[in-house]
Every structure is written in structure tokens, then in C-alpha cells.
A and B are shown apart, each in its own frame.
Chain A
């Protein structure tokens, strides 16, 4: 392996930083690998360099076009790197408005919605923003739902893992232990020892639909979310209507009322329209950055359930709605 000049190391590091900024999930180890890879390819041959860097820095085929475009713009002479390289964006939604704009460009509508819109539950082009007064929730209902949610959460929270443990009520004979016992009786298998799988905790990512169509169930849903969030530590909760908000911290309040207070401050599109497709698109497009569900699901990686709580009527599923 030939030595790589300090200059090249620096450039490679900058290139990696650039890729990372564009959303490729790269760590310092990958930069190191890329540099080492450059040491074992022909540096004069551009194609060699490209393939070498690609093998080390691209971790899934979907990232390859982005890599190629950035490679072109970064390694082609001393010209300053443009802020926005000519990368083909993920398919724009068929929606005539183009991709969802997250900036609050549209006029916000308070509390009252367009009557027309309420009468005909059809997709609307307006982002309906509103706040919900949660104070009207009953006390005993809350307790009942909490108990129920805890029970459901407990059922959800544990699932059999890879490892085994000895257990009297096991499902399989532990041959290892049984044989060890048999040593005492001269090879006679007099007692069988049983084992079963150790339970593992599931991490849960909840996506709750809080748009207009879910208004009827909102109360129940909220109590459920609150109970779930507080029954177990490894739960991430997101709510969405036209935008997506992470409400894990808001829900983790000392009391239900406090949580509700936090929520109505935080969530601005309560009872608005639904755009699950675009949300998903947005989730996947920004995956790799904090505070999006796919990212959380990925971060908590194994044993993660993604629970979508929605009524299923949506304004648009978006072009990449199903590709999560």
C-alpha cells in the first residue's frame, strides 16, 4: 500500500464531510477506510479513485447516484464546490404544488376551519393549522385508559430474543445442562433441564395521526400515547398531520395535564389535513438526521416496532409513500 499524501488525506476528509452533510451515514472510520483505499488504487486513474471511494463510502445502492454527482463536483479541479450540487432530487410528488414546503409559507388558520372543508373531507391544498384544547378530558377515563395502555404496552414490550436461559417452564430441553446432570448418574438421563428464550425489550416508535379525520379518537389516542410513553423508557413518539413533530419529551411530563399543556404549545397542525405519503417521503429523505422516525427506527435498530396510528384517509401518499 503506498503512502497517501497529507494533502490528499485532507481532501478526502473534506469530501467525506460533504457526503455526510448530504445525508450519507458516514463515521470517522469510513473516512479512514476511504484514505486507506486510496492508498491501494491507482491515484492517476480517475475511475480507480471513484470506484475505490465508492466501495468504502457508499453503503447502500440508493446513495450511489448522490455519491457519483458529488464525486463529479468535488474532484473536478480547483473550482469552488457549489453549495447545491446538481443532484437529481428524489422524485417530486405528483402533487402540483411540488414537494411539501416545511416553511410556514401559508397563512395559518386558527381554531376554526373552513366550513366547506369540514363538509367535504377531500384533500385540501391548504395547510390547516390549529390548536387543541385538551382540558376537557375526564379523570377516571384517563385512569382506565392508562391501565389498558400499560397492559398493551407490556404485551408489546417483550419478545423472545436470541439468548436462552434455564427455566422450569421452558419450551426446549437444555441438552448442555441435562448432560452435565447426567454425569452424576453415570450417563443416565434421569432429569431433564429445560430452557426458554430470554425476553428482550422492544423499542417502539409511534407515529400518531392527529389530523382532522382522527378528531373523534384524539382523546383516546392521546391518553394511550401518554400512557405508552410513560410506561416504558424506550418509546419515541411522533405526531403528524401536515407536518411531523417529535413529542417524546413533551409527553414525558410529570402529569397528564402538564403533558397536554406541552403538547398544545408544540403541535401546530392539530386537526389539520393528512399527508402521510409526503411525511413518509420526508422521513426517508431526511433519514440520518436526528428527530425523524426512520432515523429513530434505524438508530434503535433491532427489535423496533413502528406503530402507525391513523385513520387511513390521506390527502396524498406521495410518490415514495410505500418505499419506507
Chain B
């Protein structure tokens, strides 16, 4: 394995992100090739975490743009600070400036509200990490706009002019596949798919993220969650849910799982009423083997 990739993997593990070669290679290539990294995977498998860890590793700031339906340029790129502009006009009312000069004044950078994309472009100092989270939630129009920004990292503001990034930020995009992203966007990015982790890997994640956890409890929690992933659930619990549940159990001073405890804490990892019913029925029938036999 290439040294750099190994170093990245180690650095990620140091930051508490248990990972594998595929992830480390993709991150390494994204850094060396200077291309955005598109991370896809089920909810709760640690897609967003990659950006956070990357920011810590590069000692840069993390700038986050959360996407949602109807997201537009004024929330993603920039907006003028209208109240401030208005106040400024009032204050300058009696001055002898011409209208043109006053206009140039209030439409200058001082009155610009930088939203995440512009903030990433104009960021000073070490290049930041720009996280564009859940890009599949934004509409296709926005995706096209994003393509423009990502291809040259420059933005034209009519009143100010073209703003260009001095140091290109590292970009991480995440998607839950709520909608298929366009080929154009995919082509612009390196691609990484993160699947649910194996039992061993998940156990390692739980141990790393919750240092004080009882060994037997950690084992039982991951095994139980793994058996749940085989069921047909509306919202399959991800790693985030395993961690939430394990943390809750630690707070409850549990050292191992038993049926009653599982029933009381179902809400930590099941987020759908139908799923709750399904799993309860399975528990009644004693069909979830992770509980029946205590782990040796």
C-alpha cells in the first residue's frame, strides 16, 4: 500500500474514524487530483464524518452546506444584507454623495452576506473543506448551478465582479440516493460508496467511539443491529444508530443486553412505528438470536 494512503488511514483512525483502504484511497486521490469526492451510502454509515475528519486532518475549517428542496443561490451563495444597507442609506441621507456613488457604496463587499459556497471561495488562510451535505435533496436546477461553481471555483456577483478562490477548497459531497444525481455531476467527482460495515469493523467503531463500553455489551449491540439489518425495515439502523444505542446503554449502566432492556430502548435505533412493531413481534417470538444465547 502506498505510504500516503496508509498515513491517511492512520490519521483518520486517530481522529476516531474507523475506516478501510477504499475510503483512504478515495480521500487520498481526491486530495492529490484536486477533485471533489462524492460519497454515497445508506443513512448513518459515516458519510458526513469523512468531511469532518478531513478538515481536522488538513487543519482547515469545515464549511457546511446542508441541501434541501428549494435551496437557492441566496441561501447557498450570497445575499445582500438589506437591513444594513437600508440603515446605511438613512445615515448617509444628508451627505453630498451622488446616487451612483451611494449605490456603489451599499453594493460593496461590506454589505455582502456570505453563504457557504461564497465563504468557501473567499476563505483566507489554509484551504477549507467544503461539505455539501445530502446533495440529492436539492433539486436538479441547483445541481446544475453547483456544477458551475465546482468546475472553476469562481463566482460572478454583478455589483462586485468575479470572485475567484485563491486556494481551492477540498470538496466532499454526500448523497443518500433520494434522487439519482446527474451524470455530469458524477463525472466531475471521484466516487465512493460506503456500505454498512462488517461485524468486526462495526465493533471496532463502537469501541473507538465509546471508549468505556463493556466488551460484552459492545459485542451484543453490534450483533443485534446486524441481525436487524437482515430484516426488511423501513429505516434500517445505520452505524449512527448503533452508536446512539450503545451510548444510551452505557448511560443506563448496562453490561449486557437482555430482552427487557432491548424493549425499553428500541427507540434509540428504530425510527419508524412499523419497524417498532415488526421488531417487537420478532422479540415476542424469540426470533432474534443475538439475545437468546449469551455471547461466550
Tell me which of B139-147, B209-217, B266-274 binds A: B139-147
Let me know if B191 and A55 touch, CB within 8 A.
yes
Cα-based distance from A8 to B41 in the complex (angstroms): 32
User: Closest residue of chain B to A61, judged by CB?
Assistant: B193
Partner among B25, B85, B89 whose Cβ is within 8 Å of the Cβ of A52:
B25
Neighbouring B residues of A55 by C-beta, 8 Å = 22, 25-26, 29-30, 190-192
B126 in the interface (beta carbon within 8 A) = no
- Least Cβ–Cβ distance between B263 and chain A, in angstroms: 35
Let me know if A47 and B89 touch, CB within 8 A.
no
A126 in the interface (beta carbon within 8 A) = no
The number of chain A residues touching the other chain, given as a range, is 35 or more
Let me know if B2 and A41 touch, CB within 8 A.
yes
A161-193 to B contact mask, C-beta < 8 Å, 1/0: 110000000000001100110111011010000
Cα-based distance from A60 to B26 in the complex (angstroms): 14
Neighbouring B residues of A41 by C-beta, 8 Å = 2, 5, 25, 28-29
User: Closest residue of chain A to B6, judged by CB?
Assistant: A42
If A59-B187, A179-B106 touch, whether A47 touches B193 (CB-CB below 8 Å) is no
Q: State the main secondary structure of chain B at its contact with A.
A: helix
Cα-based distance from A301 to B80 in the complex (angstroms): 32
Cα-based distance from A33 to B82 in the complex (angstroms): 44
Tell me which of B48-56, B178-186, B252-260, B275-283 binds A: B178-186
Neighbouring B residues of A59 by C-beta, 8 Å = 183, 186-187, 191
A36 in the interface (beta carbon within 8 A) = yes
The number of chain B residues touching the other chain, given as a range, is 35 or more
B296 in the interface (beta carbon within 8 A) = no
User: Closest residue of chain A to B102, judged by CB?
Assistant: A183
A312 in the interface (beta carbon within 8 A) = no
B19-46 to A contact mask, C-beta < 8 Å, 1/0: 0011001101110110100001000000
Neighbouring B residues of A319 by C-beta, 8 Å = none
Let me know if B85 and A302 touch, CB within 8 A.
no
If A161-B141, A176-B80 touch, whether A183 touches B89 (CB-CB below 8 Å) is yes
B130-163 to A contact mask, C-beta < 8 Å, 1/0: 0000000000111111000000000000000000
B1 in the interface (beta carbon within 8 A) = yes
User: Closest residue of chain A to B86, judged by CB?
Assistant: A187
Let me know if A179 and B33 touch, CB within 8 A.
no
Let me know if A40 and B187 touch, CB within 8 A.
no
Neighbouring B residues of A302 by C-beta, 8 Å = 140-141, 143-144, 182
B166 in the interface (beta carbon within 8 A) = no
| Residues of B92-111 whose CB lies within 8 A of A | 93, 99, 102-103, 106
B4 in the interface (beta carbon within 8 A) = yes
B261 in the interface (beta carbon within 8 A) = no
What are 21 A-B contacts defined by CB distance under 8 Å?
A30-B187, A36-B32, A36-B33, A40-B32, A41-B2, A41-B5, A48-B1, A48-B25, A51-B21, A59-B186, A60-B191, A162-B141, A162-B144, A180-B103, A184-B99, A187-B90, A298-B183, A301-B140, A301-B182, A301-B183, A303-B140
| Besides A37-B29, A182-B89, A186-B93, 13 other A-B contacts (C-beta < 8 A) | A30-B187, A40-B32, A41-B25, A42-B2, A45-B1, A45-B2, A56-B33, A61-B40, A179-B85, A179-B86, A187-B90, A187-B93, A301-B184
B contacts, CB < 8 Å to A = 1-2, 4-5, 21-22, 25-26, 28-30, 32-33, 35, 40, 72-73, 80, 82, 85-86, 89-90, 93, 99, 102-103, 106, 140-145, 180, 182-184, 186-187, 190-193
